[in-house]
Amino acid sequence: MKVYNTLTKQKEEFIPLTEGKVRMYVCGPTVYNLFHIGNARTFIVFDTVRRYFEYRGYEVNFVQNFTDIDDKMIKRAQDENTSVKELGDRYIEEYYKDADGLQIERATVNPRATEFINEIISFVKDLIDKGYAYEVDGDVYFSTKRFQGYGKLSGQNIEDLQAGARIDVDDRKKDPMDFAIWKNQKPGEPAWDCPWGKGRPGWHIECSCMAYKLLGETIDIHAGGSDLVFPHHENEIAQSEARSGKPFAKYWLHSAFVNVNNQKMSKSLNNFFTVRDILEKYDVDVVRFFMLSAHYRTQLNFSLDLLDSAKASMERLYNAVANLENLLDEVSRESMDEKEKQYLEILNSYRDKYIEKMDDDFNTADAISVIFDLVREINTSVNINSSKELIEYALKLIKELGCPLGILQKSTKGDLEKEIEELIESRQKARKEKNWALADKIRDDLKARNIILEDTPQGVRWKRIQ
């Protein structure tokens, strides 16, 4: 497999640190509001990356944090007259509702920064002891110039960064590029006891610390949205590598941003969509299809029209699934004949193409095209004369290729339909056993629900009456 590594600016062969295992850390949400479709893209992309590693046989240890203490959390809690803890609890619960709604697999661990305060304090202490950080009036800063490789992720040297960055004027810093890893308590802010008085962690240190504690000093993959390359991930590298003397992450993956109608999404432009809004109107398959229809490193333009066309595409794919599921009820031959067995080679070639695309830095856009090609193939070749075994194989293959993308996992037979089919089967069984009373009862019960049964040459059919 090849992955694009932001650190080396090239596609590289993926070689895990431990054979068969992937240790992966993704920067998660700050839990002060419902998450938006931009965040959703990042979460869906890395959920897909994780699912694909699993599909390829890796065991993935997947950590995604919750930032539950920072300026935004504190301000929102004050505005709402509640505590930072209560705000975090509430929006973590809401996060799970939306993430589950998007069929994002639960992480191995979702650590909260506030649950790692002691570990963060000792991390900060280590950095001070090693001479990489210094304390001023209860704040602790990281000395960027002390860390040789500063700038290596964003590909800039420290002078360029200094010239380009908007830097807070702060007399207490020894250098304008130094950044806070621990912040002294301001009035009204939540704080924890520490060797420098009372305070709270900076944002960057929490990820360095939790990745280290949960996954180890060197991890396979660190990921997030492209806005995090600088300064967040640059600073994470500096802190982690200064402390351990080892590389922090082997591969750095970044997903590009979502724009809305070709403009940056923002509350002030009134073009802000939460996942909650979108899932009310669109099925999760449609949302995931849309998010994965572009390569994760290209910007994605969002509009309701584009979602509608994703919906039409998903319908085409599900029509093929429905067609196969209906055929299963109608065909009579059970096993594949020789010709069908040979035909499997053609079907399997689509799996090979799909793997080739996904192995190439998770090219979901091309992988989706392969699924369309497969469906076209199946539509022309699998029909009423096919065996049940072949139809089931085709259905399973569509599901298999949909699974890493988190689409095409549903049956087109609704729960009600399934229940009716099962009742019809029980009735047929009762009739065979000459249990007329049970057979009649099933028919009458269905009739009471406005469903009538008809005997046809193809078997029993049912229809709804008004």
**Which parts of this chain interact with ligand AMP (CB under 6 A)?**
27, 29-30, 38-39, 41-42, 224-225, 227-228, 257-258, 265
Our finding on whether 214 is near Zn ion (CB under 5 A) is: no
Give the bridge partners for 222, in sequence order: 25, 252
Residues 70, 75, 78, 82: is their CA dihedral positive or negative? negative
β-pairing, 139-142 vs 133-136, is antiparallel
- Among 22-30, 44-52, 354-362, 412-420, the segment contacting Zn ion (CB under 5 A): 22-30
Choose from ligand AMP, Zn ion, none: what does 390 bind? Cβ within 5-8 Å by kind. none
Our finding on whether 286 is near Zn ion (CB under 5 A) is: no
Q: Decide: 354 and 401 in contact? Cβ < 8 Å.
A: yes
- Among 20-28, 117-125, 189-197, 402-410, the segment contacting Zn ion (CB under 5 A): 20-28
Q: For residue 253, what is the enclosing H or E element?
A: strand 249-255
Q: Can you read off the two tokens belonging to residue 170?
A: 């702060």
Provide the mask over 80-119, with x wherever binding to Zn ion is found by CB under 5 A and - wherever it is not. ----------------------------------------
Provide the mask over 166-205, with x wherever binding to Zn ion is found by CB under 5 A and - wherever it is not. ----------------------------------------
Choose from ligand AMP, Zn ion, none: what does 404 bind? Cβ within 5-8 Å by kind. none
User: For Zn ion, which is the closer residue by CB, 254 or 353?
Assistant: 254
- Name the one residue in this structure whose structure tokens are 């949302």: 287
- How far is residue 68's CA from residue 112's CA, in Å, rounded to a whole number? 6
The CB-of-42 to Zn ion minimum distance in angstroms stands at 11
Interactions with Zn ion, residue window 23-42 (CB under 5 A): 27
Distances (CA, A) of 75 to 27, 82, 195, 203: 21, 10, 26, 15
The CB-of-75 to ligand AMP minimum distance in angstroms stands at 14
The amino acid occupying position 19 is E
Alpha carbon of residue 145 to chain centroid? 36
Output Rg (C-alpha) for the chain, integer angstroms. 28
Our finding on whether 292 is near Zn ion (CB under 5 A) is: no
- DSSP H stretches of helix in 331-402: 338-359, 364-381, 388-402
Residue nearest to ligand AMP (CB): 225
- The answer to whether the peptide bond before residue 231 is cis (omega within 30 degrees of 0) is yes
The CB-of-362 to ligand AMP minimum distance in angstroms stands at 16
User: For ligand AMP, which is the closer residue by CB, 263 or 342?
Assistant: 263
Our finding on whether 321 is near Zn ion (CB under 5 A) is: no
Choose from ligand AMP, Zn ion, none: what does 207 bind? Cβ within 5-8 Å by kind. Zn ion
User: For ligand AMP, which is the closer residue by CB, 228 or 368?
Assistant: 228
The CB-of-252 to Zn ion minimum distance in angstroms stands at 12
Write phi, then psi, for 301 (nearest 5 degrees).
Answer: -95, 130
User: For ligand AMP, which is the closer residue by CB, 75 or 429?
Assistant: 75
Our finding on whether 210 is near Zn ion (CB under 5 A) is: no
User: For ligand AMP, which is the closer residue by CB, 45 or 238?
Assistant: 45
The CB-of-426 to ligand AMP minimum distance in angstroms stands at 50
The CB-of-146 to Zn ion minimum distance in angstroms stands at 22
The CB-of-357 to ligand AMP minimum distance in angstroms stands at 22
Q: Can you read off the two tokens belonging to residue 256?
A: 């590009």
Our finding on whether 207 is near Zn ion (CB under 5 A) is: yes
Q: For residue 61, what is the enclosing H or E element?
A: strand 59-64
User: For ligand AMP, which is the closer residue by CB, 41 or 204?
Assistant: 41
The CB-of-254 to ligand AMP minimum distance in angstroms stands at 8
Q: Which of 336, 326, 408, 421 is nearest to 372 (CA)?
A: 408
User: For Zn ion, which is the closer residue by CB, 180 or 423?
Assistant: 180
- Name the one residue in this structure whose structure tokens are 């403009």: 263
User: For ligand AMP, which is the closer residue by CB, 74 or 228?
Assistant: 228
Write phi, then psi, for 317 (nearest 5 degrees).
Answer: -65, -45
The CB-of-305 to ligand AMP minimum distance in angstroms stands at 19
Q: Can you read off the two tokens belonging to residue 400?
A: 């298999």
Q: Which of 32, 108, 94 is nearest to 65 (CA)?
A: 108
The CB-of-411 to ligand AMP minimum distance in angstroms stands at 32
- Name the one residue in this structure whose structure tokens are 């130094």: 178
Q: Which of 79, 210, 235, 90 is nearest to 153 (CA)?
A: 235
Give the bridge partners for 224, in sequence order: 254
**Binding positions for Zn ion, rule: CB under 5 A:** 27, 207
